């Protein structure tokens, strides 16, 4: 049973304005995903499952999949826009819950999930790997928790799963799709007019999860309910978010989630204007010897 990392890379990158998953950001032209995969490799992960669009496959294999395949097993899952809704004008898949549901049959034990366009810091893969090793039953999940102030950008808004924890366990999580750096720390809005503050130190989900394979049954059920109840009301934009599914499982007492807080600063490329700060941080880490350059030799 291989320790597996599932990477969400099917997003179209609307706010960034392109295929940010394959944009060079490292000192030798590495992509942000290369740093994540290298950190996972060093932490003992043996397999990568990429979730991508079929239209990106050729380029993705050439610049990302093939180099890492010399070090880790590589597999691909394709998430597409539903043809029925594409004809109506929808330009994105149904969300992260659907993406992970598609991985059934591609993992054979506890696995981790990350976004392709986030740099999470190099400490976290060993931490999540240790939690995966301790998962012995069903419904035992884990999450890396980041402080909200370490995950916002000066360039626009972000989406985060805002969490409430008790004794290191996740009690509640709510997906906030429009969070900005405002006030004393950050604020979110649901309607663009009313803003709710988020205090510094509040843990948020960056879609860095640890799951056992029983999550697939829960995701399939969630997708059925989403298509029946939510999608008809907003057919062009509605999405089924992974954090919301986990939140519902918590409310129904069908799962527990261990939260491993991470003090590292998040870097990402939500917007093109975020890229210089990310490149500077990655160059510094490479200069300090944390990463070889080029990463895959």
Domain boundary assignment for the chain = 4-146+203-243+255-287
pLDDT in tens, 55-109: 888 988 998 999 999 999 999 999 999 999 999 999 999 999 999 999 999 999 9
pLDDT mean across residues, the chain? 91
Residue 30, phi then psi, degrees to nearest 5: -65, 150
- For 68, 131, 136, 171, 188, the CA distances from 105, given in Å and listed in that order, are 21, 22, 19, 30, 37
CB 119 within 8 A of CB 32: yes
Reported as a pLDDT band with limits 50, 70 and 90, residue 15 is very low
What's the CATH fold of domain 4-146+203-243+255-287? Answer: Spore Coat Polysaccharide Biosynthesis Protein SpsA; Chain A (3.90.550)
**What's the Rg (C-alpha) of the chain?**
18
> Once rounded to an integer, what is the mean pLDDT over residues 228-240?
96
Please tell me the predicted confidence (pLDDT) of residue 20: 53
For range 43-56, the mean pLDDT: 94
- Taking CA atoms, 107 is separated from 44, 194, 218, 257, in Å, by 16, 42, 16, 20
Phi/psi of residue 35, nearest 5 degrees: -65, -40
Query: pLDDT class for 17, splitting at 50, 70, 90?
Result: very low
**CB 111 within 8 Å of CB 6:** yes
Instruction: Give pLDDT, residue 60.
Output: 87
CA angle 159, 267, 245 (to 5 degrees): 35
Percent of the chain with pLDDT over 70: 96
Does 18 have pLDDT greater than 60? no
- Cα separation, 3 vs 5, in Å, equals 7
- Can the peptide bond before residue 98 be classed as cis, meaning omega within 30 degrees of 0? no
pLDDT over 90 at 111, yes or no: yes
Q: Render pLDDT for 258-275 as a digit per residue (tens, 0 to 9).
A: 999 888 888 887 778 888
Residue 21's pLDDT band (cuts 50, 70, 90)? low
Over 128-145, what HEC string results? Answer: HHHHHHCCCCCCEEEEEE
Reading the block at residue 199, the tokens are: 């205090």
pLDDT at site 211: 97
- Is residue 180 within 8 A of residue 216, CB to CB? The reply is no
């Amino acid at each position: 049973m291989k320790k597996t990392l599932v990477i969400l890379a099917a997003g179209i990158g609307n706010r960034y304005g392109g295929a940010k998953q394959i944009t060079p950001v490292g000192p030798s032209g590495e992509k942000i995903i290369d740093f994540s995969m290298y950190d996972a490799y060093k932490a003992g992960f043996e397999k990568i499952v990429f979730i991508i669009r079929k239209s990106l496959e050729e380029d993705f294999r050439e610049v990302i999949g093939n180099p890492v395949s010399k070090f880790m097993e590589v597999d691909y899952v394709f998430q597409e826009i539903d043809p029925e809704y594409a004809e109506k004008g929808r330009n994105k898949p149904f969300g992260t819950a659907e993406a992970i549901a598609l991985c059934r049959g591609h993992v054979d034990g506890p696995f981790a999930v990350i976004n392709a366009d986030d740099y999470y810091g190099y400490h976290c893969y060993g931490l999540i790997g240790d939690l995966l090793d301790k998962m012995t039953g069903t419904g035992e999940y884990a999450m890396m928790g980041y402080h909200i102030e370490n995950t916002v950008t000066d360039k626009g808004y972000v989406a985060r799963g805002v969490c409430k924890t008790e004794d290191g366990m996740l009690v509640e999580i709510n997906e906030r799709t429009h969070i900005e750096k405002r006030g004393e720390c950050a604020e979110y809005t649901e309607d663009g007019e009313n803003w709710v503050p988020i205090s510094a130190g509040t843990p948020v989900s960056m879609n860095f999860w640890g799951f056992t394979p029983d999550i697939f049954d829960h995701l399939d059920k969630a997708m059925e309910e989403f298509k029946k109840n939510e999608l008809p009301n907003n057919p062009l934009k509605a999405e089924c978010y992974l954090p919301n599914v986990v939140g519902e499982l918590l409310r129904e007492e069908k799962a527990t989630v261990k939260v491993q807080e991470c003090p590292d600063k998040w870097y990402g490329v939500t917007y093109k204007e975020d890229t210089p700060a990310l490149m500077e941080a990655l160059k510094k880490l490479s200069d300090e010897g944390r990463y070889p350059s080029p990463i895959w030799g």
